[in-house]
């Protein structure tokens, strides 16, 4: 029989591509609470673990698919292994578990795993489901993608990001959809104030619906992973990235870490909803190996973009550099 002190609280962070999930994860890790982290990435090339600012006891990266489909079966053994390591340790290595889903994951199978598995439900408690929404793009994403709507509907708390980059019309359209799809879910704009936001003191819902997640989830998304042998200067790569976003409207997301020769720092590269963000520098030792890599996620067939990449990046990629 487990008592309240032996049940590990779980926070699930979800949200569509480029909505700020990793920023929220970094904010939670800054609380100083000993934490285990599970990160799920749709692409075969994991990036998000290199963007964490805090060290954690145990970090597991499940890549190459979503927790709701291709790698769903990996979550249960991952959580069981974490718990068994926790039980065998004299000094408990973590006090909570954070799960960051991929940007196109539907939350239902993850919740089904936490709530219906008898062994897990006696040892983990689902505390909060936090969904991030990027104000410039969320309204159109909610209309276009069922995954975005599911992330919204199952949320206990909504964090609205990038409001400073949105127009009044985009914000109005988003809030109209929120009033229709999730009128009672607490929401908060966190632009520039994420450091002041916290989950400490937030109680889990008194009642939570059990989900029916037996159906196979099928996505219409494709990922391309780029592994560079040498890295073009940022002055060369930047216009290429912007050109791809312009020429391929179905390209929803670009993210990666690169080591251009014209920069003293490693650069974190991110783009979403057609907008290339300014690169953010980070110390090379803050990330893994010094191999530049990018992940691109799109909704349409990727063959035309792959052909473009092969032509424009042939001087920088090895023979197996596009996966």
Give 202-261 pLDDT, tens digit per residue.
Answer: 667 766 766 665 555 566 899 999 999 999 999 999 999 999 999 999 999 999 999 998
The token pair that represents 318 in the structure block: 């090895």
Residue for token digits 């251009």? 260
Q: Could you tell me if 129 and 155 are in contact, meaning their C-beta atoms sit under 8 angstroms apart?
A: yes
**Bridge partners, 151 (sequence order):** none
Instruction: Give me the pLDDT at residue 64, please.
Output: 59
Residue for token digits 């953010």? 280
Question: What average pLDDT does range 258-281 have in this prediction?
Answer: 91
CA 102/CA 84 separation, integer angstroms = 25
**Structure-model confidence comparison of residues 170 and 45, the more confident one:** 170
Question: What average pLDDT does range 167-173 have in this prediction?
Answer: 97
Instruction: Give me the pLDDT at residue 261, please.
Output: 86
Q: Output the CA angle 229-253-245, nearest 5 degrees.
A: 85
Domains, the chain, in order of start with CATH, read: 8-196 (3.40.50.300), 222-312 (3.30.1220.10)
Q: Within 125-264, where are the H helices? A: 138-144, 146-153, 168-181, 234-247
CA 111/CA 213 separation, integer angstroms = 9
Give 313-322 pLDDT, tens digit per residue.
Answer: 999 999 999 9
Residue count of the chain, please give it.
Answer: 323
Residue 32: Cβ within 10 Å count: 7
Instruction: Give me the pLDDT at residue 53, please.
Output: 61
Distances in Å between the alpha carbon of 284 and those of 232, 257, 258, 264? Answer: 17, 10, 10, 9
Reported pTM: 0.89
CA 215/CA 201 separation, integer angstroms = 35
Give 54-107 pLDDT, tens digit per residue.
Answer: 555 577 777 655 555 554 578 888 999 999 999 999 889 899 999 999 899 888
Strands 280-282 and 266-272, by their bridges, are: antiparallel
CA 238/CA 312 separation, integer angstroms = 13
The token pair that represents 108 in the structure block: 């239902």
């Amino acid at each position: 029989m487990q008592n309240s002190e032996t049940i590990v609280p779980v926070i699930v962070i979800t949200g569509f591509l480029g909505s700020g999930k990793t920023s929220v994860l970094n904010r939670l890790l800054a609380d100083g609470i000993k934490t285990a982290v599970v990160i799920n990435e749709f692409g075969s090339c994991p990036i998000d673990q290199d963007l964490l600012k805090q060290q954690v006891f145990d970090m597991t990266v499940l890549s190459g698919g979503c927790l709701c489909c291709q790698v769903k079966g990996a979550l249960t053994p991952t959580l069981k292994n974490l718990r068994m390591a926790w039980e065998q340790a004299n000094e408990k290595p973590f006090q909570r578990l954070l799960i960051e889903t991929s940007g196109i994951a539907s939350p239902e199978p993850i919740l089904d795993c936490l709530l219906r598995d008898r062994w897990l439900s006696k040892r983990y408690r689902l505390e909060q489901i936090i969904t991030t929404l990027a104000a410039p793009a969320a309204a159109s994403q909610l209309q276009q993608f069922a995954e975005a709507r599911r992330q919204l509907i199952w949320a206990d708390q909504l964090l609205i990001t990038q409001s400073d980059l949105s127009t009044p019309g985009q914000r109005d359209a988003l809030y109209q959809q929120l009033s229709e799809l999730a009128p009672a879910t607490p929401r908060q704009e966190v632009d520039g104030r994420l450091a002041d936001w916290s989950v400490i003191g937030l109680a889990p819902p008194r009642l939570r619906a059990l989900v029916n997640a037996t159906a196979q989830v099928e996505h219409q998304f494709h990922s391309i992973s780029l592994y560079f042998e040498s890295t073009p200067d940022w002055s060369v790569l930047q216009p290429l990235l912007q050109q791809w976003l312009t020429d391929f409207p179905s390209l929803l997301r670009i993210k990666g870490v690169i080591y251009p020769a014209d920069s003293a720092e490693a650069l974190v590269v991110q783009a979403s909803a057609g907008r290339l963000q300014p690169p953010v520098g980070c110390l090379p030792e803050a990330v893994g190996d010094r191999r530049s890599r990018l992940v691109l996620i799109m909704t349409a067939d990727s063959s035309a973009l792959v052909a473009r990449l092969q032509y424009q990046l042939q001087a920088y990629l090895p023979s197996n550099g596009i996966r």
